[in-house]
Amino acid sequence: MTISETAVRERLTRALHERGEEIADRWVELQMEQALLDTDIGEAELREEADALIEALVPGLQSEIPVDRVVTSSPGLHEAVVGLSMRRARAGATPTATSLAVLALKEALLKAVQRDTRDAEELFSSAVFMNRLLDVAGALSFETYVEGREEIIRRQSQQLMEQSTPVVRLWRQVLAVPLIGTLDTARTQVVMENLLQAIQDHEALVAIVDITGVPTVDTAVAQHLMQTVNAVRLMGADCVISGVRPSIAQTIAQLGIDLSTILTRATLADALAAAIKLIDGPGPDGEEGDGR
pLDDT at 223: 82
Per-residue b/e over 78-90, b at no fewer than 16 CB within 10 Å? bebbbebbbbbbe
- Do 206 and 132 share a structural domain? no
Residue 17 resides in a domain: yes
> Would the pLDDT of 151 be above 80?
no
Mean confidence (pLDDT) of the chain: 83
Q: What is the mean pLDDT of residues 240-266?
A: 85
Structural domain that includes position 205:
168-280
pLDDT at 38: 60
Q: What is the pTM of this model?
A: 0.52
Q: Domain count for the chain, please give it.
A: 2
Highest mean pLDDT among 36-40, 88-92, 119-123: 119-123
Residue 291 resides in a domain: no
Residue 230 resides in a domain: yes
| Structure confidence by residue, pLDDT tens digits, 37-66 | 566 677 888 888 889 999 999 999 999 898
> Would the pLDDT of 157 be above 70?
no
What is the rounded distance in angstroms from the CA atom of residue 189 to the CA atom of residue 206? Answer: 19
Which of 159, 191, 216 is a domain's end point? Answer: 159
Banded pLDDT at 36 (limits 50, 70, 90) = low
pLDDT at 273: 92
- Do 110 and 16 share a structural domain? yes
Nearest to 169 by CA among 138, 199, 139, 128: 199
Q: What is the mean pLDDT of residues 233-256?
A: 88
Q: What is the mean pLDDT of residues 225-229?
A: 86
Give me the amino acid identity at 211.
I
Q: What is the mean pLDDT of residues 222-227?
A: 84
pLDDT at 39: 62
Q: How many CB atoms lie within 10 A of CB 254?
A: 8
- Do 195 and 59 share a structural domain? no
Q: What is the mean pLDDT of residues 96-124?
A: 86
pLDDT at 159: 54
Q: Do you know the residue count of the chain? A: 292
> Would the pLDDT of 291 be above 50?
no
pLDDT at 234: 92
Which of 135, 159, 183 is a domain's end point? Answer: 159
> Would the pLDDT of 283 be above 70?
no
Query: What's the burial of 123, exposed, middle or buried (CB within 10 Å: 0-12/13-18/19+)?
Result: middle
What is the rounded distance in angstroms from the CA atom of residue 277 to the CA atom of residue 263? Answer: 12
Checking phi first, is residue 166 left (phi over 0); if not, alpha (psi -120 to 50) or beta? beta
pLDDT at 199: 94
- Do 79 and 154 share a structural domain? yes
Q: What is the mean pLDDT of residues 66-85?
A: 89
What is the rounded distance in angstroms from the CA atom of residue 286 to the CA atom of residue 10? Answer: 94
- Do 144 and 16 share a structural domain? yes
Banded pLDDT at 292 (limits 50, 70, 90) = very low
> Would the pLDDT of 201 be above 90?
yes
- Do 149 and 29 share a structural domain? yes
